[in-house]
């Protein structure tokens, strides 16, 4: 038991430190910048969040090294280093220029620096790498090389500059784009975002006085004294500008002490001045988001649930009560971490945290854990908690390690989602049904494991079958309620109850599929094996309704939830699940006949 506790503490400490991104005892105090409030992407957030989101979008990495000195840099340090060394300080940008003109002129009158020639931009498409003349194992390209790269236009067959070709693709409708065009636009967006960072167009630090649209000053415009003399007669903003110039001068002079002092003065000025100029976030909310970023509660959650699953396996193998109680405690700790994480996201965003794929995945993990704990406390069968812990762990690990496909960014709500009443009733209900079906999937996989090893534990198999049936009943009730509430929400938001939208159609197909399974079991058309096989197979309907419509089809009125990528991985997992069912069926055919596992079960698995 002491060894298990030691392993848990070690894993927890590792999870906490993994996101802290502390580069060590650097003389540069970059961390004081993490709590600076900025406005980006339609909401106000800390610079820590902006820096992390930018690093992830550019490179899908969170740790870097200075190309010349090799000094380790966390996301905030990297962001500020590229900003302070970028253009626009000594040569102010034209405030009347369009974004396209600014991007086109980035390399026009300057030589590329160490950041421009560093491989910072992720190219995650093999086809795109081939078209850009990159080797297949080269995942990154430098902004300078990309600005010079050429690509052959699939429509005309002519070779042209990549950035020019990508800009033309922006005018095409999203549904008509090929996979190559979609990946090309993603890469071009990384390129333009990099330029915005270097030119100071992305970082906004102070509200524009008396702005009706609640605009903020970007750094590139904040350093332009002529503009400030007209918009800031009191001189308050100009004081912040002068401090910002001193910060950059200290950085370029490689003077950490002067940099740290000037940074502290600038940050104090901004926090005092911001609320006087316009809408400015409360510092407590900004600090909470920084704490959320670095504590990573959902990472703690999967460490706890994974350890709980291992402890439960030990409990089943050794029959030691202490392992069982320890597994329960760890499982509850994992749920507590999930609840805390959701509570923090609600406090930060001011809404229910189920409006994108990332949030729905971790919500399914929480729902699976909740259902698993309730059924475990009722029936005291260790298989239930084991299945719940495994499924929750998998969902949380997937959300924690796939930011390119499951975007953890907190975005402002789309207008159709701003009715919190319908959002909570419909979305949370239907997502809870996915959690119930996921738990049934876990229990069914354990049941199929008994058939795979040709176990003769008929009573255990029958008990697992009963649990699967009960959990499926809960899922069907929730899915039916969620589908009906979705129709009510559609009538409220779009003026019609049902429109045969792909999301609606596949929700109905999933509901009818699970109703057929419950009916087949109720009338004894299938037994334990058939129910387990169908519970596994029918989860593919949930995957299509939940993932396929959003990430593969990309069509319908539910466009606020669309994403892309990962189709190969999801298809591989589904194929592996069906192969697992087939292997269990082949093994079951050679089992001795048993009343608990009637031979007619195989009809459901094969049909």
Segments in 170-320 forming alpha helices (H)? 179-198, 219-222, 225-231, 236-252, 256-277, 283-295, 297-318
139 Cβ contact list (under 8 Å, min separation 6): 122, 123, 124
Could you tell me if 424 and 322 lie in one domain? no
Identify the domain boundary among 359, 380, 412: 412
Identify the pLDDT of residue 591.
Answer: 64
- ∠ at Cα 464 (459, 470), nearest 5°? 130
In-domain check, residue 432 = yes
Could you tell me if 237 and 358 lie in one domain? no
Query: Rg of the chain over CA atoms, in angstroms?
Result: 27
Q: Please tell me the distance from the alpha carbon of residue 101 to that of residue 97, in angstroms, as a whole number.
A: 6
pLDDT higher than 90, residue 238: no
Q: pLDDT tens digits for 144-193?
A: 999 999 988 877 778 889 988 888 877 666 556 777 888 899 999 999 99
pLDDT higher than 50, residue 24: no
Q: pLDDT tens digits for 414-426?
A: 665 666 576 678 8
Could you tell me if 378 and 455 lie in one domain? no
Confidence band (pLDDT; 50, 70, 90) for 301? very high
Could you tell me if 272 and 123 lie in one domain? yes
Helix (H, G, I), strand (E, B) or coil at 404: coil
Q: Which residue has the tokens 């999801």?
A: 570
Identify the pLDDT of residue 475.
Answer: 95
Identify the pLDDT of residue 88.
Answer: 67
pLDDT higher than 90, residue 105: no
- ∠ at Cα 461 (525, 527), nearest 5°? 5
Identify the pLDDT of residue 218.
Answer: 87
- Which of the residue ranges 134-148, 333-347, 458-472, 593-607 would you say has the lowest mean pLDDT? 593-607
Identify the pLDDT of residue 607.
Answer: 38
In-domain check, residue 176 = yes
Q: Which long-range contacts (CB under 8 A, 24 or more apart) does 180-185 make?
A: 180/125, 180/127, 180/128, 180/131, 180/154, 182/564, 183/124, 183/125, 183/127, 183/128, 184/128, 184/151
Identify the domain boundary among 237, 260, 282: 282
Could you tell me if 365 and 430 lie in one domain? no
Identify the pLDDT of residue 561.
Answer: 53
Identify the domain boundary among 412, 445, 478: 412
Rounded to two decimals, what is the model's pTM? 0.83
pLDDT higher than 80, residue 223: no
Provide mean pLDDT across the span 59-68: 88
pLDDT higher than 60, residue 39: yes
Q: pLDDT tens digits for 440-486?
A: 999 999 999 999 888 878 888 999 999 999 999 999 999 999 988 88
Helix, strand, coil: what percent of the chain each, to 5?
65, 5, 30
Could you tell me if 270 and 303 lie in one domain? no
Provide mean pLDDT across the span 329-346: 95
Can you give 159-185 as a three-state secondary structure string?
A: EEEHHHHHHHHCCCCHHHCCHHHHHHH
Provide mean pLDDT across the span 550-566: 58
Counted residue by residue, the chain has a size of: 607
Confidence band (pLDDT; 50, 70, 90) for 22? very low
In-domain check, residue 179 = yes
Which token pair is 490?
């559609």
Identify the pLDDT of residue 11.
Answer: 40
pLDDT higher than 60, residue 527: yes
pLDDT higher than 90, residue 291: yes
Could you tell me if 256 and 303 lie in one domain? no
In-domain check, residue 8 = no
In-domain check, residue 7 = no
Looking at every residue in the chain, the average pLDDT score rounds to 83
Note the Cα 431 to chain centre separation in Å.
16
Identify the pLDDT of residue 553.
Answer: 63
Could you tell me if 146 and 196 lie in one domain? yes
pLDDT higher than 70, residue 3: no
Identify the pLDDT of residue 535.
Answer: 95
Residue 519's domain spans which residues?
A: 420-607
pLDDT higher than 50, residue 510: yes
Could you tell me if 304 and 245 lie in one domain? no
Could you tell me if 256 and 205 lie in one domain? yes
Could you tell me if 197 and 247 lie in one domain? yes
Could you tell me if 543 and 394 lie in one domain? no
Q: Give the closest residue to 587 by CA, choosing from 403, 439, 454.
A: 454
Q: Which residue has the tokens 């999933």?
A: 510
In-domain check, residue 9 = no
Q: Give the closest residue to 581 by CA, choosing from 606, 562, 554, 603.
A: 606
Confidence band (pLDDT; 50, 70, 90) for 606? very low
Which token pair is 178?
């090929």
Confidence band (pLDDT; 50, 70, 90) for 386? very high
Identify the pLDDT of residue 477.
Answer: 96
Secondary structure element (H or E) that encloses residue 72, with its range: strand 72-73
Q: Are 35 and 290 in contact (CB under 8 A)?
A: yes
In-domain check, residue 212 = yes
Identify the pLDDT of residue 407.
Answer: 82
Q: pLDDT tens digits for 481-503?
A: 998 888 887 777 667 777 787 88
Largest CA distance in the chain: 91
Which token pair is 565?
């990528």
Confidence band (pLDDT; 50, 70, 90) for 91? low
**How many domains does the chain divide into?**
3
In-domain check, residue 125 = yes
Q: Please tell me the distance from the alpha carbon of residue 267 to that of residue 262, in angstroms, as a whole number.
A: 9
pLDDT higher than 60, residue 68: yes
Residue 359, exposed/middle/buried by CB under 10 A (0-12, 13-18, 19+)? buried
Helix (H, G, I), strand (E, B) or coil at 393: helix
**Percent of the chain whose predicted confidence (pLDDT) is above 90:** 45
Which token pair is 279?
């809408």
Buried b (16+ CB within 10 A) or exposed e, 88-114: bbeeebeeeeeeeebbbbbbeeeebbe
């Amino acid at each position: 038991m002491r060894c298990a506790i030691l392993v848990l503490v070690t894993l927890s400490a590792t999870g906490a430190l993994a996101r802290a991104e502390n580069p060590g005892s650097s003389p540069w105090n970059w961390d004081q910048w993490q709590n600076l409030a900025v406005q980006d992407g339609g909401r106000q957030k800390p610079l820590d969040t902006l820096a992390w989101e930018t690093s992830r979008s550019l490179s899908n990495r969170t740790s870097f090294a200075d190309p010349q000195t090799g000094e380790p840099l966390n996301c905030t340090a990297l962001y500020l280093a590229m900003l302070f060394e970028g253009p626009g300080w000594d040569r102010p940008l034209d405030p009347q220029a369009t974004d396209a003109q600014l991007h086109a002129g980035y390399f026009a009158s300057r030589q590329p620096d160490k950041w421009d020639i560093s491989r910072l931009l992720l190219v995650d498409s093999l086809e795109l790498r081939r078209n850009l003349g990159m080797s297949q194992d080269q995942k990154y390209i430098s902004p300078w090389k990309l600005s010079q790269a050429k690509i052959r236009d699939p429509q005309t067959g002519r070779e042209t500059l990549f950035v020019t070709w990508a800009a033309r693709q922006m005018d095409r409708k999203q549904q008509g784009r090929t996979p190559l065009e979609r990946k090309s636009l993603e890469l071009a967006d990384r390129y333009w975002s990099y330029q915005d960072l270097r030119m100071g167009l992305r970082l906004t630090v102070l509200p524009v006085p008396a702005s009706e649209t609640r605009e903020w000053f970007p750094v590139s415009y904040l350093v332009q004294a002529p503009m400030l003399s007209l918009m800031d007669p009191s001189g308050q903003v100009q004081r912040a500008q002068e401090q910002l110039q001193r910060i950059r001068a200290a950085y370029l002079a490689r003077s950490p002490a002067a940099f740290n002092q000037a940074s502290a003065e600038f940050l104090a000025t901004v926090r005092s001045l911001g609320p006087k100029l316009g809408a400015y976030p409360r510092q407590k909310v900004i600090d909470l988001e920084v704490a959320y970023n670095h504590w990573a509660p959902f990472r703690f959650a999967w460490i706890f649930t994974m350890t709980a699953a291992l402890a439960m396996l030990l409990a089943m193998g050794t029959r030691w009560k202490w392992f069982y109680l320890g597994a329960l405690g760890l499982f509850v700790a994992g749920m507590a971490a999930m609840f805390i994480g959701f509570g923090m996201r609600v406090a930060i965003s001011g809404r229910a945290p189920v409006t994108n794929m990332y949030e729905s995945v971790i919500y399914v993990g929480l729902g699976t854990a909740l259902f698993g704990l309730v059924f475990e406390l009722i029936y005291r069968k260790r298989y239930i908690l084991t299945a719940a812990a495994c499924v929750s762990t998998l969902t949380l690990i997937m959300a924690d390690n796939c930011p390119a496909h499951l975007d953890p960014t907190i975005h402002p709500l789309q207008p159709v989602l701003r009715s919190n009443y319908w959002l909570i009733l419909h979305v949370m209900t239907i997502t809870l049904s996915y959690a119930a079906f996921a738990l049934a999937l876990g229990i069914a996989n354990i049941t199929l494991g008994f058939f795979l090893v040709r176990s003769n534990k008929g009573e255990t198999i029958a008990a697992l079958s009963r649990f699967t049936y009960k959990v499926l009943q809960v899922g069907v009730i929730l899915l039916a309620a969620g589908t009906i509430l979705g129709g009510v929400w559609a009538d409220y938001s779009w003026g019609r109850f049902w429109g045969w939208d792909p999301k609606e159609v596949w929700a109905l197909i999933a509901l009818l599929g699970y109703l057929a399974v419950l009916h087949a079991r109720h009338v004894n058309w299938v037994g334990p094996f058939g129910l387990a096989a169908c519970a596994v197979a029918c989860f593919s309907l949930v995957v299509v309704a939940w993932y396929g419509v959003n990430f593969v089809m990309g069509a319908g009125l539910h466009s606020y939830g669309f994403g892309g990528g990962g189709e190969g991985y999801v298809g591989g997992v589904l194929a592996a699940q069906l192969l697992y069912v087939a292997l269990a069926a082949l093994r079951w055919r050679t089992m001795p006949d048993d009343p608990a596992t009637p031979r007619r079960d195989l009809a459901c698995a094969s049909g």
